[in-house]
Amino acid sequence: MTAPYSPEDREKVVAKLPAPLRRELKVRAAELGVDIQDAVTEGVTAWMKLKSHPVVDTSNGSSFATYLPAGLYAKLKEASKSSKVSYNQGVAQAIRCWLDNHPSPRPTPPRTTGARRVVFGNQKGGVGKTSVSAGVAQALAETNKRTLLIDFDPQGHLTRQLGYAMLDIGSASLAKHMLDEADGDLGALLVPIKGGDFEDRLWLLPACKDAFLLDAKLATTRAVRIKETALERVLEALEQDFDYIVVDCPPSLGYTMDTALYYGRTREGEEAGQSGIVIPVQAEDTSGDAYDMLADQIDDLCEDLKIEIQTLGFVVNLYDARNGYIATSSLESWQKMNEPVLGIVPELKEQREAVRRKEPLLAYEPDCEQASVMRSIARRIQG
């Protein structure tokens, strides 16, 4: 057979690779509409820039041939030698590198096990999503549940309130992983949240300001794997390490919120109420107006994607009966909704003090009334 490339442009390379790796490369390249030689070229180029890469099992290998740009073959052999791995191992690692950086665009089969996913969302700002999601995550971790708290808001209030720095705009982040713009392990970005009875069971994925660009990039991308499934795709690898994953969402109704809602859907084989959305609100009319818009978004997403997203309940935050009829009548309205009110968090100083001191509430004032409500909400979520 005549080679499809002239010797001046490409060089034929041959290696011995295991059948499963060759098959995976062939299928993935077809799924993404990429020529195999271009995939291998990209993989080799990326691999040579890495300081290290996991060893790939190359036992029972058979002949695999492709074409690389002139000169790259020699560089690959030299890089393999410098890395003290065999040439076959170098090729295998390069292909694995490309596969890991180019996931299948096909929807991932629903998981029937793994972490329960609790999304805290409301497109209205100032209702206390951050304080409630943080407090409930701390309370879940107190019950010996390994819990991951995700700051999904580019404003980074959650990250800063807990005393951590936001990720640098030029470094890897959740948003970059969702957009396939970051290499490496997302788990490397997690930091432990210290203090209180939850220590060693609570971790934070900090925010990064690059998430401001996430909506626009999600709206314009053509990649199937990037749309509503983007958040689930990158978090799935972490789920086996946690009992609960709690997501503090931005005050938005855009594509970013769609990815969070999709992540909290009821998966096949999962009981209703195990995962879903918790909606923090306040006892005033604008919260009701905001909820109507969020409810419409949830309904549209469920209809379009044929999924079920469970509303676990409302949390009425910053409640103060001294505000009179406006507060009390609004609270009654929330209590008459179809979904339950999981808790009523009073307007007290302890939460504000904890934020000012950049400490978790359940470590700063573990016996205060607000902390008790957070534990009550956590118990109701656990069921």
Domain enclosing residue 364, as ranges: 116-382
- Looking at the structure, tell me whether residues 292 and 193 fall in a common domain: yes
Instruction: Say if CB 243 and CB 381 are below 8 A apart.
Output: no
Half-sphere exposure (Cβ direction) of 171: Cα atoms closer than 13 Å: 12
- Looking at the structure, tell me whether residues 198 and 334 fall in a common domain: yes
| CA–CA distance, 364 with 134 (Å, rounded to integer) | 13
- Looking at the structure, tell me whether residues 92 and 135 fall in a common domain: no
Q: What is the CATH number of the domain that holds 42?
A: 1.10.1220
User: Which of 101, 133, 167 represents a domain boundary (last residue)?
Assistant: 101
User: Which of 101, 127, 162 represents a domain boundary (last residue)?
Assistant: 101
Q: Is residue 30 assigned to a domain? A: yes
DSSP strand pairing (147-151 vs 276-281): unpaired
Q: How far apart are the first and last CA of the chain?
A: 65
Q: What is the CATH number of the domain that holds 354?
A: 3.40.50.300
Half-sphere exposure (Cβ direction) of 91: Cα atoms closer than 13 Å: 26
Per-residue model confidence as pLDDT tens for the chain (383 residues): 334 444 457 888 899 998 888 878 887 887 788 888 899 999 999 999 988 788 888 887 888 888 889 889 889 888 888 888 898 898 999 999 999 999 888 654 444 457 999 999 987 767 788 999 999 999 999 998 999 999 999 899 999 999 999 999 888 999 899 988 888 899 999 999 998 889 999 999 999 988 777 877 777 765 544 578 889 999 998 999 999 999 999 887 788 899 999 999 999 889 989 999 999 988 776 667 778 888 999 999 999 889 999 999 999 887 767 777 667 777 777 777 878 889 989 888 898 899 999 999 999 999 899 999 999 999 999 98
Q: How many domains does the chain have?
A: 2
pLDDT in tens, 11-60: 888 999 988 888 788 878 877 888 888 999 999 999 999 887 888 888 87
Q: What is the pTM of this model?
A: 0.69
- Looking at the structure, tell me whether residues 186 and 320 fall in a common domain: yes
- Looking at the structure, tell me whether residues 337 and 370 fall in a common domain: yes
Q: Is residue 125 assigned to a domain? A: yes
Q: Is residue 187 assigned to a domain? A: yes
- Looking at the structure, tell me whether residues 120 and 177 fall in a common domain: yes
Instruction: Say if CB 188 and CB 203 are below 8 A apart.
Output: no
Give the rounded distance of the alpha carbon of 7 from its chain centre: 45
Strand partners, 147: 202, 244
The helix (H) or strand (E) run that includes residue 77 is helix 72-82
The two structure tokens encoding residue 54: 């996991």
- Looking at the structure, tell me whether residues 157 and 290 fall in a common domain: yes
- Looking at the structure, tell me whether residues 46 and 121 fall in a common domain: no
| CA–CA distance, 282 with 331 (Å, rounded to integer) | 8
- Looking at the structure, tell me whether residues 127 and 231 fall in a common domain: yes
Q: Is residue 5 assigned to a domain? A: no
What does DSSP assign to residue 167?
Answer: B
User: Which of 101, 136, 162 represents a domain boundary (last residue)?
Assistant: 101
- Looking at the structure, tell me whether residues 29 and 64 fall in a common domain: yes
The two structure tokens encoding residue 255: 């594509």
Q: Is residue 4 assigned to a domain? A: no
Phi-psi region of 156 (alpha: psi -120 to 50; beta: other; left: phi over 0): left
Q: Is residue 93 assigned to a domain? A: yes
| CA–CA distance, 32 with 102 (Å, rounded to integer) | 8
The alpha carbon dihedral of 240, 246, 250, 252 has a sign of positive
Q: Is residue 108 assigned to a domain? A: no
- Looking at the structure, tell me whether residues 208 and 84 fall in a common domain: no
Q: Is residue 107 assigned to a domain? A: no
- Looking at the structure, tell me whether residues 182 and 63 fall in a common domain: no
The two structure tokens encoding residue 74: 């020699």
